[in-house]
Amino acid sequence: MLYWITALVVGTLALMQLRVAAWLWLSAILIWIGVGFRFAGIGALAAILLLLLLAIPCLAVAIKPLRHALLTRPILKIFQRILPRMSQTERDAIEAGTTWWDGELFSGKPDWDRLLKAPAPQLTEEEQAFFDNEVEHLCQLISDWDSTQIWQDLSPQAWQFIKEKGFLGMIIPKQYGGKQFSAYMHSQVIMKLSSHCSAATIAVMVPNSLGPAELLLEYGTEAQKDYFLPRLAAGQEIPCFALTSPYAGSDAAAIPDVGVVCVGTHDGEQMLGLRLTWDKRYITLGPIATVLGLAFRVHDPDHLLGADGSSEVDLGITCALIPTDHPGVVSGRRHWPLNAVFQNGPTSGQDVFIPLDWVIGGRAQIGKGWRMLMECLAAGRAISLPSSSVGFCKLAVRGSSAYAAMRTQFRVPIGKFEGIHEMLARMGGNLYLMDAARRLSALAVDAGEKPSVISAISKYHVTERGRVVVNAAMDVLGGKGICMGPNNFVARTYQQLPIAITVEGANILTRCLIIFGQGAMRCHPYVLKEMAAAGEADQNKALDDFDRAFFGHVSFVFANFSRTLLSAWSGGTLPSAPKAAAVELRHFYRAVNRLSAAFALLSDVSMFVLGGSLKFRERISGRLGDILSQLYLVSSVLKRYQDEGCQQQDLPYVHWAIQDALHQAQEAYLGVLANYPNRWLAFLLRIAIFPFGLPYAKPSDALDSTVARAMQTNGASRERLLADMYLPTIEHAPYACGELAFQLIPQVNAIAARLKPAIQAGTLAPMPQSLIEMQDWVLEAAASGLITEAEQQLLSDFAHYGDMSVQVDDFPQDFNRLQSLQAASNASTEISSPS
């Protein structure tokens, strides 16, 4: 009897995983009942009951007409009745873009070979030359201090260089005069610029991601492309795109700005066009833009566009390009976002007439603007803010780790204190993960994807982890971090962090509504198909399509239930790792497999239990999104480690990043289950997913210390962590002294170790803690013949650079007033220089 019951359990789990057809289920059940009746001693009555309970339902599912009549048709009617109403804008958002690795994670059985075989992102020779020369030279022309305190913008020279060297046309094809760079190159440029100057980052970032160029490339008419793209590539036009309205911020689809179809006059000719009224704010590059991309709703009250018989008045969101010198366009004023000096401001217009030809894509694209935005801007969201966040975190990590290694208190470098270890580990582990996510998201775009869900994951989690990194840097720097000046490399970033958290979709919205809300339907292999079938007008087709989708969905749930049980109850050892994976990380691949199956199961159960109300249970959907996000972040770390040749020196960062992400995923599971409305179901799910306790702990104190020491050790591993950021000279940026002092520490320590006997013998005083006093100590050692001339110079350089890096800036009492006068005197240059 025991063997017979065991065969039932094992066979059921195996058939679930194999997702076999109903006829095979029926055959297996009949065989099992027959064996039980013949050999296991079950009686005839028990066999009949088992036939009624198990075999008859399988027979009903196996026979298609019977299945349609008894199951599919009633379920379809229920589904059509309870299906939440979805607006066209919601539908466009869900259907826009493509799925990639996010879809694999949603499957419960990710195909690792697909990810690991994807080529590692790399620059072409042309891209590398531009990165090493033009980007490097631009960095030499700019600094955060000059842009914020002197120009309140980029200098005219920097703007001119940006335009002349093609920075505004990096994504534009060469046939239009652009650079036609890859998404990865775009990401690299933004990252390097943001490691030095935020204003330059935004000036280059927006035209290549949130500007009209991408919309023109995808949807513009040939005439629009031929006119605008060469001018944008050459910097003759400065673009901006206006979407956000005062009363439609996060709910951008509800924009109140309207274009009414009418007959008007343009250039002395009467023509069909639009009379626009808009009021937009937060428009980056808006104050200096020469061409305005505008999103608005088109109303056609007189049905002038109704030749197709349409009686609709509101034709939907539409996008147009408008020269900012066009009569009625109001722009030029600036917002002041947390003392960031990138150009940002409002734009408005009242009853401004434009020809229909100014609609992006012409008349055929009227009403299709929302889908255009959702499809095209997803790529930019995957690159812009993740790349800029990685850049400023590289600056924070390089500066803070050097400072911690060089700065002494209580005669010990502060980088040896465990409290500092905790902060440094938080910085290094998060940066490794952030950069991995940046690289993988750019890779998706270069692979031809429009990764709407992945872009939301990258934007939210990279900016949030950026906040953690910069906050930790401020803790390490202490008083040095809070005094503004050219010597401070982190204060402006700390001050402006909420900008990255807020723009391109506020992080609260992105987490609670987009990542899972969009991902559950976009990435799920069956939900969209079920919804499409439920909305099908042809009832016979609807029945057939829904039948395939629904029973495929049921099979999918059973398969993931089986995978979840087997992986959880085996302690995570059963899910296989790919053969190509590094041996030292295979347990992490199995962990992602385990949590992926559990996530797919939990998602389906949540959608079934909560139905349409899940859309409004934002904390539950937010936590479900967190699970998907953390699995994506772990995947990006595994992919990066593989792409970089499995450098074992990097394992401390890899382990810290993955352990932290797995722990956060586990916490998100617990948060969902703790707040589940059905407590019995929550209990059963907890037993299924975590039967033997919680397997994923936070990174340990020992691992923290290992990461912190790695960050304070000169070598290839630290340079890979900080690769491709800008390294200024001390003449250009005084904070560069910290890195120069840091580079000398190994040699200084070697000299100190050699001098230890002399110090113990009393012939030389101990090395002083104060770097100012160290100069006298060096002279004493040289006079005693204990160090060579070269060693004297090295120690003097260390003392000089170290002292400069410890100092903070101070200014005359009237400094702010003088700076205000300087800014006022530059006001005319500030507005006119980019045009």
The reply to whether 573 falls in a domain is no
- The per-residue pLDDT for range 365-402, each reduced to its tens digit, is 998 888 888 777 777 788 999 999 999 999 999 999 99
- The per-residue pLDDT for range 593-606, each reduced to its tens digit, is 999 999 999 999 99
Q: How far is CA 306 from the centre of its chain?
A: 42
Residue 659 has pLDDT above 80, yes or no: yes
pLDDT band at residue 189 using 50, 70 and 90 as cut-offs: very high
Of 26 and 661, more confident: 661
Per-residue pLDDT at 730 = 87
Distance, in Å, from the CA atom of 124 to the CA atom of 180, rounded to the nearest integer, reads 11
**Exposed e or buried b per residue across 127-138, where buried means at least 16 C-beta atoms within 10 angstroms of its C-beta:** beebbeebbeeb
pLDDT band at residue 634 using 50, 70 and 90 as cut-offs: very high
- The per-residue pLDDT for range 306-322, each reduced to its tens digit, is 755 456 788 889 999 99
Query: Which of 213-222, 375-384, 740-749, 803-812 has the weakest average pLDDT?
Result: 375-384
Q: How many CA atoms lie within 13 A of 42 on its CB side?
A: 19
The reply to whether 514 falls in a domain is no
Are the CB atoms for 601 and 627 separated by under 8 Å?
no
- Please spell the DSSP secondary structure of 588-625, one letter per residue: HHHHHHHHHHHHHHHHHHHHHHHGGGGGT-HHHHHHHH
Written as one letter, the residue type at 100 is W
Q: Strand 314-323 vs strand 291-299: parallel, antiparallel, or unpaired?
A: antiparallel
Distance, in Å, from the CA atom of 466 to the CA atom of 779, rounded to the nearest integer, reads 44
Annotated catalytic residue 504: yes
57 and 131 together in one domain: no
Q: Tell me which of 504, 739, 791, 830 is the catalytic residue.
A: 504
49 and 146 together in one domain: no
Residue 824 has pLDDT above 70, yes or no: no
Given 357, 375, 393, the domain boundary residue is: 375
Per-residue pLDDT at 616 = 80
Given 375, 404, 423, the domain boundary residue is: 375
Written as one letter, the residue type at 692 is F
Are the CB atoms for 631 and 595 separated by under 8 Å?
yes
- The per-residue pLDDT for range 98-128, each reduced to its tens digit, is 889 999 999 999 999 999 999 999 999 999 9
145 and 270 together in one domain: yes
Q: Domain count of the chain?
A: 3
267 and 139 together in one domain: yes
Distance, in Å, from the CA atom of 266 to the CA atom of 523, rounded to the nearest integer, reads 46
| Two structure tokens written together for 332 | 């030029």
Residue 767 has pLDDT above 90, yes or no: no
Instruction: Give φ, ψ of 531 to 5 degrees.
Output: -65, -40
Residues of the chain by 3-state class (helix, strand, coil), percent to 5: 65, 10, 25
CA distances from 364 to 223, 228, 305, 358, 720 (A): 14, 19, 10, 12, 49
**Exposed e or buried b per residue across 316-339, where buried means at least 16 C-beta atoms within 10 angstroms of its C-beta:** bbbbbbbebebeebebeebbebee
Distance, in Å, from the CA atom of 592 to the CA atom of 634, rounded to the nearest integer, reads 8
The reply to whether 234 falls in a domain is yes
Per-residue pLDDT at 835 = 34
Are the CB atoms for 404 and 712 separated by under 8 Å?
yes
**CB neighbour class for 35 (10 Å; exposed up to 12, middle 13-18, buried from 19):** middle
136 and 58 together in one domain: no
CATH of the domain at 315: 2.40.110.10
| Two structure tokens written together for 514 | 């987009």
Range of the domain at 753: 736-806
Per-residue pLDDT at 27 = 87
Query: Which of 209-218, 226-235, 624-633, 825-834 has the weakest average pLDDT?
Result: 825-834
Please report which helix (H) or strand (E) contains residue 354, including its range.
Answer: strand 344-355
Per-residue pLDDT at 15 = 82
Are the CB atoms for 388 and 442 separated by under 8 Å?
no
- The per-residue pLDDT for range 10-68, each reduced to its tens digit, is 888 888 888 888 888 888 888 877 777 666 677 777 777 877 777 888 888 888 888 88
- The per-residue pLDDT for range 263-304, each reduced to its tens digit, is 999 999 999 999 999 999 999 999 999 999 999 999 999 889
Distance, in Å, from the CA atom of 133 to the CA atom of 126, rounded to the nearest integer, reads 11
Residue 330 has pLDDT above 90, yes or no: yes
Q: Which residues are bridge partners to 264 per DSSP? A: 271
158 and 278 together in one domain: yes
Are the CB atoms for 317 and 253 separated by under 8 Å?
yes
pLDDT band at residue 660 using 50, 70 and 90 as cut-offs: very high
Distance, in Å, from the CA atom of 53 to the CA atom of 451, rounded to the nearest integer, reads 45
54 and 151 together in one domain: no
The reply to whether 269 falls in a domain is yes
CA distances from 824 to 337, 385, 820, 828 (A): 18, 31, 6, 8
10 and 143 together in one domain: no
Strands (E), 602-753: none
49 and 175 together in one domain: no
48 and 157 together in one domain: no
- The per-residue pLDDT for range 436-453, each reduced to its tens digit, is 999 999 999 999 888 889
- The per-residue pLDDT for range 457-500, each reduced to its tens digit, is 999 999 999 999 999 999 999 999 999 988 999 999 999 999 99
Distance, in Å, from the CA atom of 3 to the CA atom of 123, rounded to the nearest integer, reads 60
Per-residue pLDDT at 90 = 65
218 and 358 together in one domain: yes
Residue 590 has pLDDT above 80, yes or no: yes
Tokens 């953690």 -> residue: 468
The reply to whether 780 falls in a domain is yes
The reply to whether 798 falls in a domain is yes
Average pLDDT for the chain: 89
The reply to whether 782 falls in a domain is yes
- The per-residue pLDDT for range 135-162, each reduced to its tens digit, is 999 999 998 989 988 888 999 999 999 9
Given 62, 89, 114, the domain boundary residue is: 62
- CA angle 146-148-150, nearest 5°? 50
The reply to whether 611 falls in a domain is no
178 and 316 together in one domain: yes
